[in-house]
């Protein structure tokens, strides 16, 4: 790698980051920790690095203390693991001190984890981002030796989305007709177009979201894993999108995709789904009532962003409502088997055992004569099987409190529930 070119890239990054106008996200950094930020493409991982750099600069640090490199820069196409030391040499030659390192999209460089481990062992502070959840495989985490805090970066929460739109929500907001209408307009935009930060900059949001989806679909999944049967992958995502509210077995997905004329095996579906989870396009939750085989083979799938999901749907509202609840539960409690659904004679959309929290999702409680009774009875039956301190029915707009057999169940509009999560 050409050393002079690296010097130019480093200086260019300093200028660009200094000039960025930040919208601060709801995240607090620990002063002496090393971090790995992972998440879907365009979720804002890089901006968390910029946010930290701005904090450091405002607290008296200078570029003598900071080295930032974005490995998606096309000028680094020839960069390899042996070039990492060049970055340190350049900084030491210019500033005569070792820096804190900010390494953006580092998964593009094979062997990065050994470099990160070595620097952590020798006292460097390091911030890393990556779009591929394979970065967190057991082998890599063994190599990194527990020296890094891992942070899942999702698209904007509703609170962050409002802040990004310069909207301040107060106790009086919803009593003002004008302010309430503005809030509901922003909420609907968030609900239908999702929370990818750069979506806010575009008038044609669908076109932008399509470009992001194609980049994940073709780049992060198909190209990275050398998938030739791209049509099967496309049909699979369409099927998963249409079924976000229902468990889907690998066999069923394989049969449906094959029925469209694109032959695919169950084993291939298993691989495709894992690639998609690794790329953060979709998330998986398991049945709390299921035995091991059923847990693994009949999960539910949800898309990380409502805007991306909406691209693949015709009937949108009910699917988007359940998806946004799922994603925000995963944001709060994590992707690693903290959030479940329950299905065994009774079906409850979400159960978080550590919180003893059960949630049903229902777009309209009074859609027909049996809807309300069905949703409430499901929660009541679950409460007789497992502890349920808190029970909610998340709706699109209805709010009411019910009491059944001395148990309180609260129906709450999704926007109010999202704001109550305090993330």
Q: How confident is the model at residue 142 (pLDDT cuts 50, 70, 90)?
A: confident
Does the reported pTM lie above 0.95?
Answer: no
Res. 176 pLDDT band, cuts 50 70 90: confident
CATH topology of domain 3-153: Rossmann fold (3.40.50)
Helix 3-19 vs helix 84-95: crossing angle, to nearest 10: 70
| SS3 at position 314 | coil
Contact 420, 394 (CB under 8 A): no
Q: CATH for 198-420, among 1.10.10.10, 1.20.1250.20, 3.40.190.10, 3.40.50.720?
A: 1.10.10.10
**Averaged pLDDT, 251-264:** 94
Q: What does the pLDDT read at residue 287?
A: 95
Whether the predicted pLDDT of 133 surpasses 80: no
The average pLDDT across 161-177 equals 87
131 in Cβ contact with 40 (< 8 Å): yes
Mean pLDDT score of the chain: 93
pLDDT at 120 over 70: yes
Residue-wise pLDDT tens digits, 212-229: 999 999 989 999 899 999
Residue 252 or 295, more confident? 252
Q: Say whether pLDDT at 172 is over 90.
A: no
Q: What band does 262 get if pLDDT is binned at 50, 70 and 90?
A: confident
Query: What length does the chain have?
Result: 423
Q: What is the average pLDDT across 76-105?
A: 96
Say which residue, 307 or 368, is predicted with more confidence. 307
Please check the confidence at residue 83 and state whether its pLDDT lies above 80.
Answer: yes
Same fold, 3-153 and 198-420: no
* pLDDT value of residue 190: 98
In this prediction, residues 172-184 reach a mean pLDDT of 86
Helix (H, G, I), strand (E, B) or coil at 46: helix
Distance CA 135, CA 278 (A): 9
Average pLDDT rounded to a whole number, residues 156-184: 89
Mean pLDDT of 244-266: 94
Q: Summarize the confidence of residues 359-366 as an average pLDDT.
A: 95
In this prediction, residue 402 carries a pLDDT of: 95
Residue 18 has pLDDT above 70, yes or no: yes
Q: Classify strands 100-104 and 66-70 as parallel, antiparallel or unpaired.
A: parallel
* Higher pLDDT pick, 144 / 412: 412
pLDDT at 145: 79
| Listed residue (212, 182, 216, 185) closest to 197, CA to CA | 212
Q: Is 306 helix (H, G, I), strand (E, B) or coil?
A: helix
Contact 190, 78 (CB under 8 A): no
Give Cα separations from 182 to 166, 187, 262 (angstroms): 11, 9, 46
pLDDT tens for residues 143-155? 887 899 999 999 9
Contact 213, 311 (CB under 8 A): yes
pLDDT of 369 reads 77
Residue 138 pLDDT > 80, yes or no?
A: no
Average pLDDT over residues 399-423: 91
**How high is the pLDDT of residue 193?**
97
Q: Are 318 and 243 in contact (CB under 8 A)?
A: no
| pLDDT digits 0-9 by tens, 290-343 | 887 778 889 999 999 999 999 999 889 999 999 999 999 999 999 988 999 999
Please report the pLDDT score of residue 146 as a whole number.
85
Q: Poorest-confidence range of 13-22, 27-36, 86-95, 414-423?
A: 414-423
Count of CB atoms within 10 A of residue 245's CB?
16
pLDDT at 422: 66
User: What are 2-12's pLDDT values in tens digits?
Assistant: 999 999 999 99
Q: Which pLDDT does position 295 carry in this prediction? A: 80
The domain spans of the chain are 3-153, 198-420
Nearest Cα neighbor of 184 from 203, 200, 169, 199 is: 169
User: What are phi and psi for residue 407, nearest 5 degrees?
Assistant: -110, 135
> What is the predicted pLDDT for the residue at 290?
80
Pairwise CA distance, residues 192 & 310, whole Å: 7
């Amino acid at each position: 790698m050409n050393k002079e070119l690296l010097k130019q890239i480093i200086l260019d990054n300093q200028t660009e980051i200094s000039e960025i106008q930040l919208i601060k996200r709801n995240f607090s950094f620990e002063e002496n920790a090393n971090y790995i930020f992972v998440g879907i493409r365009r979720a804002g991982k890089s901006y968390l690095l910029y946010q930290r750099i701005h904090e450091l600069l405002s607290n008296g640090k200078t570029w003598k203390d900071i080295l930032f490199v974005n490995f998606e820069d096309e000028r680094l196409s020839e960069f390899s693991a042996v070039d990492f030391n060049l970055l340190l040499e350049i900084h030491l030659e210019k500033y005569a001190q070792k820096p804190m390192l900010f390494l953006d999209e580092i998964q593009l460089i094979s062997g990065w984890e050994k470099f990160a481990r070595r620097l952590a062992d020798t006292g460097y502070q390091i911030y890393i981002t990556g779009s591929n959840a394979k970065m967190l495989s057991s082998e890599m985490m063994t190599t990194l030796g527990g020296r890094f805090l891992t942070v899942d970066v999702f698209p904007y929460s509703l609170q962050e989305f409002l802040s990004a739109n310069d909207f301040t929500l107060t106790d009086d907001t919803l009593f003002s007709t004008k302010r309430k209408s503005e809030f509901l307009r922003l909420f609907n935009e968030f609900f239908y177009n999702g929370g990818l930060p750069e979506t806010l900059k575009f008038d044609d949001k669908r076109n932008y979201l399509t470009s992001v989806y194609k980049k994940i679909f073709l780049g992060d999944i198909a190209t990275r894993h050398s998938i030739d049967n791209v049509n099967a992958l496309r049909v699979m995502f369409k099927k998963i999108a249409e079924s976000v509210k229902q468990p889907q077995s690998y066999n069923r997905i394989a049969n449906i995709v094959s029925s469209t004329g694109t032959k695919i095996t169950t084993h291939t579906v298993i691989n495709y789904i894992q690639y998609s989870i690794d790329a953060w396009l979709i998330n998986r939750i398991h049945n709390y009532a299921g035995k091991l085989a059923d847990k693994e083979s009949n999960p539910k799938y949800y898309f990380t962003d409502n805007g991306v999901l909406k691209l693949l749907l015709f009937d949108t509202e009910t699917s988007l409502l359940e998806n946004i609840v799922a994603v925000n539960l995963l944001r709060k409690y994590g992707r690693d088997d903290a959030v479940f659904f329950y299905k065994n004679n009774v079906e409850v959309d979400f159960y978080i055992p550590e919180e003893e929290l059960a949630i049903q999702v229902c777009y309209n409680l009074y859609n027909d004569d049996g809807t309300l009774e069905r949703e409430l009875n499901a929660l009541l039956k679950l409460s007789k099987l497992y502890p349920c301190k808190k029970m909610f029915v998340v709706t699109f707009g209805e709010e009411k409190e019910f009491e059944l057999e001395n148990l309180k169940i609260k129906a709450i509009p999704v926007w109010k529930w999202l704001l109550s999560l305090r993330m």
